[in-house]
Copies of this chain bind each other. A is one copy, B any other.
Amino acid sequence: APKKLLILPGDGIGPEIMQQVRRIMDWMAQARGVRFDVSEDLVGGASLAVHGQPITQQVIDAARAADAVLFGSVGDPKWASAGFDRRPEIAILKLRQELGLFANLRPAKVFDSLVDSSTLKPDVIRGLDIMIVRETVGGIYFGTPRGIETLPDGSRRGINTEVYTTAEIERVARVAFELARKRDNRVCSVEKCNVMESGLLWKEVVTDLHAREYGDVELSHMLADNCAMQMVRNPRQFDVIVTGNLFGDLLSDLASMLTGSLGMLPSATLGARGGDGRLPALYEPIHGSAPDIAGQGKANPLAQILSFAMLLRYSFDMQADAALIEAAVSNVLDKGLRTPDIMSAGRTEVNTDGMGTAVVAELERL
């Protein structure tokens, strides 16, 4: 039976970049006879508009039943005042939590042909290839107690709780160590153990796991503030970084921006393989819904296309197809085609559709 793929384009530029992935799927069906069992549904502002909630139980169930989820992006200024319980962001937070997608893999890789689009000097970032493994179902994102309470004198107090257990830390560290073994074999674990006990436990658990099972991998520890600095000072010192939900949110966005090409970066969020061998997995671009340019044909579809390639690689074990798509993207860039976000002097500007066309043409040629 064909693999079940759930597509959730979401808000803003989500639908138009997802459209380009559809074209690649069509090509795969025609040229290579590869077919998926694809369904599509609403999340974020798009779901709020129809169902009054950012994600329905039906979509969560469909995601659970799918072999993989390809996600666009959520967030829509129209819903800015919808209230904390109806933020579009709940869609992605719920999917992570309900599917147990605890390990967010965020590569920050510099394409040779885009080395000049970074704000960092080329000799600092050329060849950069970092993999950030961010914990995504724990920490301060989900800990309780949480909320805003009104005090007797009428003033208010906002509370959130950071919680990490041994098991939560171990399973995400394991993902980082396993990935490192297939890369440069180095893991840097990041926390604030000099201030937070949850960070101290994080460091201890990672250290213990390393000693027990991953002695062959080089492990270092770094404080989160120092890590933010080191990413700017000398980002190539890193191979795999493993960190908690909140630090991972900031540090992975920071790392992405070093590449100068946010519109190029895919991500995967993985769960634990079930007894039936299935791996819960969601793939999404790192960039957001970019409502300011939505519907104008300006969006860069490459991060979404590369997220699909990552899906083929991690979820469907279709290494050759993934490699083909990645090569097509790389060639198109080498040929000088650029969407507005990565445009520079002497290159050829194309729109969203034009970029999709170029990738498909390159796939035909390869």
A residues with a Cβ closer than 8 A to B are 75, 84, 87, 89, 93, 119-121, 124, 140-141, 143, 146-148, 151, 155-167, 192, 194-202, 205, 224-226, 228-229, 231-234, 246-247, 249-251, 253-254, 256-258, 262
Contact = CB atoms under 8 A, between A and B. Distances in A.
Contact of A250 (B161, B197, B225, B262): B225
Contacts of A231: 254
A163 B250 CA distance: 20
Copies held by the complex: 2
B158 A163 contact: yes
Contacts of A155: 165-167
Contacts of A234: 119
A200 B159 contact: no
Contacts of A257: 228-229, 232-233
Nearest to A116: B121
Contact of A253 (B140, B141, B225): B225
Contact of A192 (B146, B159, B205, B249): B249
A165 B160 contact: no
Given A143-B159, A157-B163, A160-B198, 6 more contacts: A93-B195, A119-B232, A158-B165, A159-B197, A228-B228, A228-B254
B165 A162 contact: no
Given A84-B200, A250-B224, A254-B232, A194 B89 contact: yes
B254 A197 contact: no
A158 B200 contact: yes
A154 to B, nearest CB: 9
Contacts of A75: 194
A9 B247 CA distance: 31
Interface centre among A75, A197, A200 (most CB of B within 10 A): A197
Contacts of A121: 119-121
Nearest to A202: B158
Contacts of A250: 224-225, 228, 247, 250
Contacts of A161: 159-162
B262 A229 contact: yes
Nearest to A249: B225
Nearest to A122: B121
A198 B143 CA distance: 13
5 contacts: A84-B200, A155-B165, A156-B205, A192-B246, A228-B254
A163 B158 CA distance: 6
Nearest to A234: B119
Contacts of A87: 194
Contact of A198 (B141, B158, B164, B194): B158
Q: Which 3 A-B pairs have the closest CB atoms?
A: A158-B201, A158-B198, A155-B166
Nearest to A248: B225
A115 B87 CA distance: 42
A195 B89 CA distance: 8
A231 B201 CA distance: 30
A84 B198 CA distance: 12
Contacts of A233: 119, 257
A229 B256 contact: yes
A303 to B, nearest CB: 14
Contact of A232 (B165, B205, B258): B258
A209 to B, nearest CB: 13
A167 B84 CA distance: 22
B197 A148 contact: yes
